[in-house]
Amino acid sequence: MKNIKRTMLGVACLVALAGIAGLVVAQRQAADKAAQQKPAMEPFTQKLAPASAAPEAPEPLVTEQTAPPLESPPPAKPAKAPAREKPADAIPEPAAQGQVVTEDMAREALSSVGADPEAEECWAQAINNPDLPAESRQNLIEDLNEDGLSDTKHPGPQDLPLILNRIQLIEAMAPDSMDQVNADAFAEAYKDLVNLALIASGTGGEPVR
């Protein structure tokens, strides 16, 4: 009987020791497993660390400094055109030169009356000059039907603009004639110029003798 008790006691001790040993082994295995899992988690935590940290301020962008726009220079003032030199035989300007228009000066200007304003001014001063003889003034007016025309008896279309300009000039000046001599001369020149205008335009007119 005593032997049976001893045997059972021994078996119980072995079982207890086996349980203790199993517990120790289990704890070691758990410790080893934990040690093996820890390195695998470190990279993941390192990846999370930058996300949780405060973001660094971005470096300022370096922009290329552009040069300020060049101011356009002020526009150059246009150079004044040089004064035109008049030819030696140009019509004189009595008003500008303070000269008295002579009959010869007016006669020279007569061919350009109706085409050149300066010639008209010179001629007008002569026919309105009371110091000029009446006959001279009469001839300067009546000769508007001759001087400056290509053909005094049979003017062509090229003469028509000049003839018409002289007709308009007489219409403007005749009402203010200086005296009866000028008034009669204007009437005679006007009649002849109207006839020449009809001939030049080919619409009629009487032959000029």
Report the distance separating Cα 94 and Cα 83, nearest Å.
Answer: 19
**CA end-to-end span of the chain:** 193
Q: Which has the higher per-residue pLDDT, 84 or 139? A: 139
- Please tell me the total count of domains within the chain: 2
Same domain, 107 and 193: yes
* pLDDT given for residue 65 in this prediction: 47
Mean pLDDT across 131-158: 95
pTM above 0.75, yes or no: no
Q: Which domain holds residue 114?
A: 94-201
pLDDT in tens, 52-73: 444 454 454 444 444 444 444 4
Same domain, 196 and 100: yes
Over 60: is that where the pLDDT of 43 sits? no
Same domain, 106 and 180: yes
Same domain, 104 and 197: yes
Q: Which has the higher per-residue pLDDT, 30 or 149? A: 149
Q: Which has the higher per-residue pLDDT, 44 or 20? A: 20
Considering the domain boundaries, does residue 170 fall inside one? yes
Considering the domain boundaries, does residue 99 fall inside one? yes
pLDDT over 90, % of the chain: 49
* pLDDT given for residue 175 in this prediction: 96
Quick check: helix, strand or coil at residue 29? helix
The domain boundary, picked from 42, 58, 74, lies at: 42
* pLDDT given for residue 209 in this prediction: 77
The confidence band for 114, taking pLDDT boundaries of 50, 70 and 90, is very high
Considering the domain boundaries, does residue 69 fall inside one? no
On whether the CB atoms of residues 114 and 165 are closer than 8 A, the answer is yes
Using the structure block, give the residue that is written with the tokens 């093996």: 36
* Cα distances (Å, whole numbers) of residue 111 to 91, 105, 117, 144, 201: 11, 11, 12, 8, 21
